[in-house]
Amino acid sequence: MERAGLIVATKGKTAMVRLQRHVSCAGCGRCGGLLGSAERRDLIVEVDNTIGAAVGQRVVVESDDRQVIFISFMLYMVPLAALVAGILLWPLLARSLSLGGNQDLFAVGAGFLLMALVFAGIKKWDRRVKESGRYRPVITGLAEDAAGEE
């Protein structure tokens, strides 16, 4: 995946790049949408500055598509699977513990609890990944025009 952006800060071999949100994301209203300020609509991303670009330069930022899909899977599908697993496994656990009555509300609570635990695990994993730089996008060159920024 390739995007164009503007370097707003540098630190050693990394840079902070302002990327405009994709057209399909820009108008949803979740983070400012069309009516919000430009700062809220744009993303600030930490990237590897392999070419030594300076603050104020427009650059092309590239990330591996497989890594983007994997991270999306980890952030969306794994917590959803934990929620469903908690809901489906609670009745089995309740039967084995000989808990009577309607256990539906407890099943939902178990699903949300398991999902919260998975989110805590993902947050811990995210810290390690950020330190390693393994999934960090890379600046591959200078941008020639503003057309590639959408």
pLDDT per residue rounded down to tens, the chain (150 residues): 788 888 898 888 888 888 876 665 555 555 555 555 555 567 888 888 888 888 888 998 888 888 889 888 999 999 999 999 999 999 888 888 888 778 889 999 999 999 999 999 999 988 888 777 777 888 888 877 544 444
Task: Tell me the pTM.
Answer: 0.65
Q: What is the pLDDT of residue 127?
A: 86
Question: Are both 119 and 72 inside the same structural domain?
Answer: yes
Two structure tokens written together for 137: 């996008």
User: Considering its fold, how many domains does the chain have in total?
Assistant: 2
Question: Are both 25 and 42 inside the same structural domain?
Answer: yes
Question: Are both 82 and 139 inside the same structural domain?
Answer: no
Write out the residue range of the structural domain in which residue 46 sits.
2-63+135-149
Two structure tokens written together for 37: 């300020």
Question: Are both 38 and 74 inside the same structural domain?
Answer: no
CB atoms within 10 A of CB 127: 9
Of 128, 138, 19, the C-alpha closest to 74 is 128
Q: What is the pLDDT of residue 83?
A: 96
